[in-house]
A and B are shown apart, each in its own frame.
Chain A
Amino acid sequence: MAIEFKNVTKKIKKNTVINNANLTIETGKITGLQGINGSGKTMMMRLIAGLIKATEGEVVIDGIIIGKDIDFPLSLGMMLENPAFLNSYDGFHNLRLLADINGIISDSDIYESINRVGLDEAKNKKYKKYSLGMKQRLGIAAAVMESPDIILLDEPTNSLDSEGVEMVKRIVSEEKARGATIVISCHDTAILSELSDIIYTIESGKITGCIKNGSDSEQ
């Protein structure tokens, strides 16, 4: 699923958080977003997810305009900022509650997702008793469990140990091999470079650079 930003500007009150962004995220590729805190990486992901609407311009996914033709992309998995789940439920039941909305995956698929992120031993533990790293892992499991066409991962390696970082790399690669279009942001430039096919640099809501397969180009 190709994602296009066509002259997208997003203003919140008087602040311009995304400034005339134009970019194309190719189908089946991993696109990295790089920038300092508050540069607009998460806002771009929110625009793709349909959580916020562009003040000007359009976000188009396979010819469908988000916020106009449909409210949210049809097949999307995401983890934006901090993962959030219900404290009184365990990991498995939290995922099952979400999976029940679409009803396209079975309990065994949920267990498989939990195993993929290494939470198999904690699947029956209440979410409120999870460590930060475990919460992050559950967030990743929720993002990928339904094999969505588009996956948005905002700082997926936050709070993870080295084993967890390797797990993220493995899952992202597996999802890419499946054909998913992945957008990822990460402060660790080395991880982002290792994973991404193309990296966009964002500064103050403006796309200032693009690094593709080792070559560097300015927009």
Chain B
Amino acid sequence: MKKQLKIELKKAIFSPYFLFGLVMLTLFSVLSAIYILEKNGGYTAAIKADTEYAYNPDLPLFSFFSSWIGAERMSLAYTLFFNLMPIGTALPFAWSFCSERKSGYIKNIVIRDNKKNYYKAKTIAIFVSGMIVVLIPLLINILIVSSKMPLYKPFAGYNFYNCVYFGDLFADLYYSNPGIYVSLYVALNTLYGGLFAVLGAAFSFYISNIFSAVLLPFVIMLILAYTEHAFQAYMFAGDIVELIPTQFLHASTLYANSSGIVVAAVAIIILTFSFFTIYFKGVKNEIY
């Protein structure tokens, strides 16, 4: 199992699809950083230049904590990053997983090890590759934005500008210890990167077309988001919570409050569905 995992991780990291997913999401994260530095960086300089007051209360408005890709809500790049995350993560290794089964390459492996070990190693490798594809672009964005934007602690009185409201997931942390808040959201995004990747792989057991299987998580998220927003328009904002991962993974509120229970429940549903499908269907299915 260890040997198999090592091989699968090596295949994942050196796959051209992995590179494609990584470059795509990194491009969005860098573009977001460039946009936000130009926009918020200018405001910060103007506020700093205003020396009328000993302390300008507007300073925390445009800090790193409201400008990194997880918090900014202005650029096209952040929208693309979060909405295309299911493709960027599923593409790298789910594609290779589907094509290995379709081409018959899997036969070469299972006769040398066994199906259980193969699927275990493959699932872990898919999960890890999905996590890396999200983690690296986020870290690059954080490095670029934090190199220019000040680390002012957000002011709770300005929650309207920060878009982290009372009742939001980790909201108290955002105003008391924003560094931990950002770290938690990076971890959450990384986790969901892995989940999207295994979800794409799991769909390949139900859909024979590789392209459709890899795209399906993205399409589902898109349809769910559209449906959710259509219904939310008729509801009182205080009663609703965000249900769609591509929306609640954003660290500042986009449409509705994010809830820890929903975030955990969706993760468990994706995890259970994906792992049971890959492991049990994979091990049970005959290989032709």
Contact = CB atoms under 8 A, between A and B. Distances in A.
Contact of B7 (A46, A76, A100): A100
A71 B114 CA distance: 7
A3 B3 CA distance: 29
B103 A78 contact: no
B25 to A, nearest CB: 20
Q: Which of A46, A81, A97 has the most B CB atoms < 10 Å from its CB?
A: A97
A84 interface: yes
B54 to A, nearest CB: 61
B105 A51 contact: no
A53 B287 CA distance: 10
B110 to A, nearest CB: 6
A51 B3 contact: no
Interface residues of A, number: 26
Contacts of B108: 84-85, 98, 142
Q: Is the interface of B mostly helix, strand, loop or mixed?
A: helix
A88 B16 contact: yes
A98 B112 contact: yes
Nearest to B116: A71
Interface string A81-114: 1101110100000000110111100000000000
A23 interface: no
A147 to B, nearest CB: 13
Contacts of B107: 49, 51, 78, 80, 84
A101 B4 contact: yes
Interface residues of B, number: 26
B286 interface: yes
Nearest to A85: B105
A109 B158 CA distance: 68
A49 B107 CA distance: 9
B288 interface: yes
B15 interface: yes
A101 B114 contact: no
Given A51-B110, A82-B104, A84-B100, 7 more contacts: A49-B111, A52-B288, A71-B115, A86-B96, A100-B6, A100-B7, A103-B3
Interface of A: 46, 49-53, 71-73, 76-78, 80-82, 84-86, 88, 97-98, 100-103, 142
